[in-house]
Amino acid sequence: MIPGGGQPNMQQLLQQAQKMQQDLAQAQEELAQTEVDGQAGGGLVTATVTGAGELRALKIDPKAVDPEDTETLADLVVAAVQAAHENAQTLQQQKLGPLAQGLGGGGIPGLPF
């Protein structure tokens, strides 16, 4: 209900919704282009993902490669990718959180907040 008993201006509401959609699309595009890193083993393994969570690169220091212990290397890779995804989620919250609040605080479908 509108203060003063008036009816909402539907044109104005539609314009606000369209602006929020444009802002959301722009923020999502920025996330898709922004890269964040996650590291494990003191930097022996580094994973790079986009702000949208797409794995773009994986760097493994030769010191981490032991043919007798591939299990440790696999653990380091998993940890680096998880750290990168956590950093991507933080970036998503920073970029899209304010927009989600503008949509009534219900969050954005497909995102973890």
Helix (H) or strand (E) holding 11: helix 10-33
Quick one: average pLDDT of 69-97?
Answer: 92
What is the 8-class DSSP label of residue 5? G
Alpha-carbon separation of residue 80 from 8, 69, 100 (angstroms): 50, 17, 29
pLDDT tens, 37-75?
999 999 999 999 998 889 999 999 999 999 999 999 999
Percent of the chain with pLDDT over 70: 81
Overall average pLDDT of the 93-109 stretch: 65
User: What pLDDT, on the 0 to 100 scale, is given for residue 112?
Assistant: 47
What is the spatial distance between Cα 31 and Cα 78, in angstroms, rounded to a whole number? Answer: 22
CA distance 79 to 89: 15
